[in-house]
Amino acid sequence: MTEAPHPRILIVDDSRMVRASIIKHLKGHYEIREEGDGEAAWQTLVLDHDIQAVISDLSMPVMDGFDLLARIRDSKVSRLRQLPVIMISGEEDEESRDKALALGANDFITKGIGTAELLARVDSLVRLGQAEQALHSHQDQQLRHPHSGLFTRAYLEAQAEQALSLAGRQQAPASVLVLGFDSLERYTAQYGGALVDKLQERFAKLLAGNIRKEDSLGHYSDTTFAIVSPGTPGAASEAFANRLRHAVETSNIAVHGQRLPLTISIGIASFPLDGAPSATSLLAMAEARRAAAAAAGGNRAVAPAPAVEPAAVRGGAAVSVDQALAMLAAGQDEELRPQAAALAKALMPLLSFLNYELQYGPSADVPESKFQASGEPQGNRNPGGDAP
């Protein structure tokens, strides 16, 4: 029976004799890596993912132990940030001890410590680190789909709840989209589950590459995806959905030499247009619209109806840019016409700014090709913007 490998420890000290002394204590119990200064130690930690604890001297050239400890605790990589760190000094120094502990050291020992005590302390911290890693791994599994690595439905519902809460406080919009391939059952029966899994994986990558950092992408079910998009109005999400739908429809994916006629259906729900009382109901509304789109033949996006009544527009009531976009999407050009002057006045500062930034001269005639993409959606990666 093969024995489990020993945990790997990094020892950092500018004295070879000190490193050799510590290695003598730990030999046979741990696999050892050693470095002579903090900078070299940091590079080793970044590259070697198997290191489970660090024993570092305080006084070293290039980067001392305090700076190394601070860099570890400030790392954006959880593996590094959670590493157990033991600081070691040549003498008992309360000030150095307090500083090291304040920076996040797990233990502080003096050089010359006995073998039994050093082994006990290191063993305790390594076991603690392993337990914390297992806990974080378990928590991450609760948030991530086991196969795709995308967020789970439970996590998306929590994100949508947060987006709704923020939208309510700031009187801002928020949207959710639920989307999936049409005719998945037929493709599974005809080509097998492995092909469908690859299609889903490719589609997930496409979605992930075209959303903002503040958006959340995950599974609504095993065959559908959902996007939570805080701060995005319904009309803008619908525009994004249709560009995405067109990109999938025109994609060139072949199976056995035959082009696969892929299409998707998308349901969109938006706050405050839909007035959903909870994130769960908002997502359910988007899923119901996706199902309706698929049942109607697929390859379409179904969004909430515009919030503005045509009669109100004719009466001269002010129309927001979001409402104007929604009316245009609904084909209500004539109803919107009386508001053209007011909308142009409101948008003029933005148009002037874009004209200057894009450097297209006084006419502001931006070539359409500047905003067109070929193949897959790309651009500002925003479900509410001009992504594809």
> CB neighbours of 78 closer than 8 A, spacing ≥ 6?
136
> Taking the alpha carbons of 49, 51, 53, 55 in that order, is the dihedral positive or negative?
negative
Buried b (16+ CB within 10 A) or exposed e, 106-142: bbbbeeeeeeeebbebbeebbeebeeeeeeeeeeeee
Segments of 58-183 assigned E as strands: 85-89, 107-110, 174-181
Delimit the domains of the chain by residue range: 8-143, 153-309
CA-based R_g, the chain, Å: 29
Rounded Cα–Cα distance for residues 177 and 135 (Å): 32
79 neighbors 98 (Cβ within 8 angstroms): no
User: 59-69 burial, b for 16+ CB within 10 Å, e for fewer?
Assistant: ebeebbbbebb
Distance CA 332, CA 62 (A): 68
260/116: higher pLDDT: 260
| Closest to 223 measured CA to CA, from 281, 150, 279, 157 | 150
pLDDT band at 238 (very low <50, low <70, confident <90, very high): very high
Whether the CB-CB separation of 148 and 204 falls below 8 Å is answered with yes
Quick one: pLDDT band at residue 181, thresholds 50, 70, 90? very high
Inform me whether the pLDDT recorded for 61 exceeds 80.
yes
Residue 113 DSSP label: -
Q: Which of 27-36, 179-188, 344-353 has the lowest mean pLDDT?
A: 344-353
φ/ψ (deg, to 5) at 176 = -130, 145
Q: Are 59 and 37 in contact (CB under 8 A)?
A: no
Burial class (CB in 10 A: 0-12, 13-18, 19+), 152: middle
CATH of domain 8-143: 3.40.50.2300
Predicted TM-score (pTM) of the model is 0.48
Percent of the chain topping pLDDT 70: 76
* Range 153-309: architecture per CATH: 2-Layer Sandwich (3.30)
- Are 8-143 and 153-309 in the same CATH fold? no
Chain segment 68-104, per-residue pLDDT in tens: 999 999 887 778 888 889 888 766 677 888 888 888 8
Is the pLDDT at 204 greater than 90, yes or no?
no
